[in-house]
Structure 1
């Protein structure tokens, strides 16, 4: 006789209280969004054209090369990059442009005026900070409306040189706050939250120092951070610390997960960008393998005893995860240098993502709960991007991704993750499956946003 399985809602580990809170939070956020979008409205489409002299074909192609390079380094998928560049070219009288965009190269060509002109640049050399991405998106939007190419070029170059809104020490404190918020979200106790915060100091310091490391050595930053955190956690486990193992291991390492990279890869593959999508997928998989090596290596070196995980009293009780989301949002805005005015919008997207994830965990189980969270937050991120002062969707998406992965891990339960696997590789495998679910949720959410007209960019 074939055994039957009950619906996920009958065996879900999500407390009814948490589900009720999630439902109330989503209702309140929906009402808040309605009020904010009514008051703020969409940004006015004013013509910011700067009249110098008529822009030449060379001016437009040069702008397209520099803007495309910056958009790729900001993390936009190549379909979005092509859509923006094509709109810029059309706005400046070059409707016949050909664009080849990849994560490491960009080629733009035009035959306007009977002359073939081509510009090619190497891309992906750096990674822009969130405040730079926001400023870049503003410039690109105005250029699509007619901003003079030479003025836009100067603004983009100034954006690249713009200092972060927060000094390194404040960025480090933001990273620690974000780590502690994630630990609380994972159900850590007060003592475990402090431990995660201490390990977050180490991870944040390594990442800040990694900004000075050449691109070809960035893999060492990931391995070093993962190795240091794992070594500390596993040494504590050998000394008898059996509580808060997963929060202490996962929370400091979540921001090392290549979430945006893998999600962009899935989107590009789905939109027919096979070379770009496959390249990003390989890069993301490599980063995951390096992260796994940083976790498994210390486990093999130190040796992990059989763990009988003890239950802990979660910090702040039932409201803990919701407070953790706020702490994470504030911390990540500071750590990743988003504009301070974007903090409220980012928190809205975070609460929609986590609230939808909790309800998803109730009805379809913890493993696929991140899919529901990503599906719900993607149209909201696109709606936020259309508001005056709202950050582009990619800026609010990245923190939301990092909240969805530990959220799914927390819903599945600590004991399940490390059952029979003291190295924590089971947690990493679950994180991989969760990231795939998030990518698919974002893909469906973007299709929904395009269908109802929320997205400024439309796939080519």
Structure 2
């Protein structure tokens, strides 16, 4: 629990407690780290000259305003998930005003309700088309054959439709990763048996990438490094559980299709050319724009951060090795995101860096390690598992170092 040393006041502004509670709940639902949520809420309370005690978990928020024993206190239970990024951008615009005490808290509550009621910018069709491009872009990063790339797009259309179907069906969304993995694996392994596509576990990743918990695992490690033990541990455990659910769906599909393990390979040797990953980043970014409902004004900065993270990772890989590549990519991503947020462009760093987590692929490495275990390649599985853990650590460390380096800019504007 954190506590500010603020000037004593006799009264909490009307509506401030409800405003902070609803804002914290919305930010937690978007998947923002508890470290950032706590910092944001305390800065807003400070702007209104109110002493605050705030405790944030991924699924619970406790807020107390004022220093007296009878000071108001409230609790909320957010539902973690990914809300459209246009809503996140507008929430941050509201935050910028609140940090200057430039909005009445009661009016702020109304703004939050309005923002969260807004629809996806591109509708159902845009979501499905976006996820197809999302899958094809991820596929290009893996240097596939042309047949595998086409398969990524077809399977992406299937998964995009499932995500859209389960968007407002809470019970279905709980089992959605298993259902998606089962259907994708059945279709893919059928294609392998029919000789339409080469059998590689890796090529299941593009269509299932949305469910891979790379951002969750990295955020969890970042929170652990920031002494948020409960939140960090819960995210890491949740991420591991999602990987196991995906693996269960894939193995079930493998058993249904009756495909021998000998017909499957884990890594893919086909290449399209040096240009493929760079084109993949562009296609992936456009897919995220449509699928995650990114505002037009934010898209250029999202694309910039994608290339910054990818090129930084490639430079780190070339100069030192894979772990330094993950560190350098995430460090440059964090620094660039903060600079953009604090400039006149005002694109929130969370919005600009979120897509880059898929580019840095810690979730994909975890899926590969489990896939090798499923193929009874135990030594390769252990190696891939350790690689995943160390990659997540390197990415989290890059984010942490980037946050520390950019801390002096937190309360400044860059023109």
TM-score range, shorter chain: 0.7 to 0.9
In the alignment, structure 1 residue 314 sits paired with structure 2 residue 268: no
CA drift of 1:427 comes to 8.1
| 8 Å Cα contact 2:89-2:351 kept in structure 1 | yes
Distance 1:289 1:417, change over 3 A: closer
Q: 1:185 corresponds to which residue?
A: 141
| 8 Å Cα contact 1:251-1:406 kept in structure 2 | no
In the alignment, structure 1 residue 219 sits paired with structure 2 residue 193: no
In the alignment, structure 1 residue 446 sits paired with structure 2 residue 400: yes
| Cα deviation digits, residues 172-219 of structure 1 (max 9, x gap) | 1011011111111211122221111000000111111111221x5433
Q: 5 Å matches for 1:159-198? A: 159-198=115-154
CA drift of 1:281 comes to 1.8
The normalised TM-score by structure 1 is 0.78
Q: Look up the SS of the partner of 1:100 in the other structure.
A: strand
Q: 5 Å matches for 1:60-459? A: 60-94=16-50, 96-111=51-66, 115-124=70-79, 127-146=82-101, 147-214=103-170, 217-241=172-196, 243=198, 245-246=200-201, 248-305=203-260, 306-307=262-263, 314-315=271-272, 317-366=273-322, 369-405=325-361, 422=375, 430=384, 433-434=387-388, 437-453=391-407, 456=410
| 8 Å Cα contact 1:354-1:407 kept in structure 2 | no
Note the aligned Cα RMSD (angstroms).
3.2
Rounded to whole Å, the distance in 1 between the matches of 2:234 and 2:399 is 23
The normalised TM-score by structure 2 is 0.85
| 8 Å Cα contact 2:152-2:207 kept in structure 1 | yes
Q: Look up the SS of the partner of 1:277 in the other structure.
A: helix
Distance 1:245 1:367, change over 3 A: farther
CA drift of 1:154 comes to 1.3
| Cα deviation digits, residues 347-402 of structure 1 (max 9, x gap) | 11111111122223334444664343223322122222222234212212221011
CA drift of 1:145 comes to 0.4
Q: Look up the SS of the partner of 1:240 in the other structure.
A: coil
CA drift of 1:226 comes to 1.1
For structure 1, the residue ranges without an aligned partner over 5 or more in a row are 1-53
Q: Look up the SS of the partner of 2:83 in the other structure.
A: coil
Rounded to whole Å, the distance in 2 between the matches of 1:408 and 1:439 is 15
| Cα deviation digits, residues 135-166 of structure 1 (max 9, x gap) | 11110111010122112111111111011111
CA drift of 1:341 comes to 1.7
| 8 Å Cα contact 2:221-2:393 kept in structure 1 | yes
Q: Look up the SS of the partner of 2:144 in the other structure.
A: coil
| 8 Å Cα contact 1:175-1:332 kept in structure 2 | yes
Rounded to whole Å, the distance in 2 between the matches of 1:271 and 1:126 is 22
Q: Look up the SS of the partner of 1:101 in the other structure.
A: strand
Q: Look up the SS of the partner of 1:233 in the other structure.
A: helix
Q: Look up the SS of the partner of 2:254 in the other structure.
A: helix
Rounded to whole Å, the distance in 2 between the matches of 1:370 and 1:408 is 13
Distance 1:420 1:368, change over 3 A: farther
Q: Look up the SS of the partner of 1:340 in the other structure.
A: coil
Q: Compare relative contact order (CA 8 Å, sep 6+) and give the higher one, 1 or 2.
A: 1
Alignment: residue pair count: 397
CA drift of 1:418 comes to 7.8
